[in-house]
Amino acid sequence: MELFFQAYLFAWVTWTTLSLGCAGILILHHALRGKWSLVLLRVFESGARLLPLMGLLSLPIMANVLSEGTLYPWLGVLKDHHLVKAKAAYLNKYWFVARTVIYFLVLSSLTNKLTKSGLRQDKSGDMNESQMRANWGGVGLVIFFITITGAYVDWVMSLEPRWSSTIFPVWFVMGGGLMAHTFAIIYTTRRMDKEPYKTAANQEVMKDWGNIFLMFTLIWAYFSLSQFLIMWSANIPEEVGYYAKRFNDPTLVMVGAFLVLGQWFIPFIALLAPRTKQRPRLLRNVAIFSLLMKFIDTFWTVVPFFTKHGHGIDSTTFLVNVGLLLAMGVLWLGAFQSSISKYSPLPLHDPRLEEALNNARS
Per this entry, what is the length of the chain?
362
Distance of CA 219 to CAs 26, 36, 109, 146, 228, Å?
19, 19, 28, 19, 14
Give the range among 3-7, 162-166, 170-174 with minimum mean pLDDT. 162-166
The 10s digit of each residue's pLDDT in 33-65 is: 878 888 899 999 999 999 999 999 999 999 999
- Is residue 187 scored above 50 in pLDDT? yes
* For range 110-118, the mean pLDDT: 91
Residue 341: CA count within 13 A, CB half-sphere: 6
Rounded Cα distance, 257 and 44, in Å: 31
- Is residue 356 scored above 70 in pLDDT? no
What are the strands, taking DSSP E only, across the chain? none
Average predicted confidence (pLDDT) for the chain:
89
pLDDT at 17: 97
Helix (H, G, I), strand (E, B) or coil at 340: helix
pLDDT at 161: 86
Q: Tell me, what amino acid is at 198?
A: K
The 10s digit of each residue's pLDDT in 254-294 is: 999 999 999 999 999 999 999 999 899 999 999 999 999 99
At 362, the pLDDT band (50, 70, 90 cuts) reads very low
pLDDT at 84: 81
Rounded Cα distance, 205 and 211, in Å: 10
pLDDT at 357: 58
For residues 181 and 216, is the Cβ–Cβ distance under 8 A? yes
Instruction: Give the gyration radius of the chain's Cα atoms.
Output: 21
The 10s digit of each residue's pLDDT in 309-351 is: 656 678 888 999 999 999 999 999 999 999 999 888 888 767 6
For residues 62 and 100, is the Cβ–Cβ distance under 8 A? yes
φ/ψ of 239, rounded to 5, equals: -90, -45
Q: What percentage of the chain exceeds 90 in pLDDT?
A: 57
Cα distance from N-terminal residue to C-terminal residue, the chain: 62
- Sign of dihedral through CA atoms 343, 348, 350, 356? positive
pTM for the whole structure: 0.93
Rounded Cα distance, 360 and 362, in Å: 5
Q: What angle do CA 211, 217, 219 make, to 5 degrees?
A: 105
For residues 186 and 291, is the Cβ–Cβ distance under 8 A? yes
Rounded Cα distance, 182 and 175, in Å: 11
Residue by residue, DSSP assigns 149-172 as HHHHHHHTGGGSTT---SSHHHHH
- Sign of dihedral through CA atoms 346, 350, 354, 356? negative
Q: Rounded to 10 degrees, what is the CA torsion of 231, 236, 240, 245? A: -170
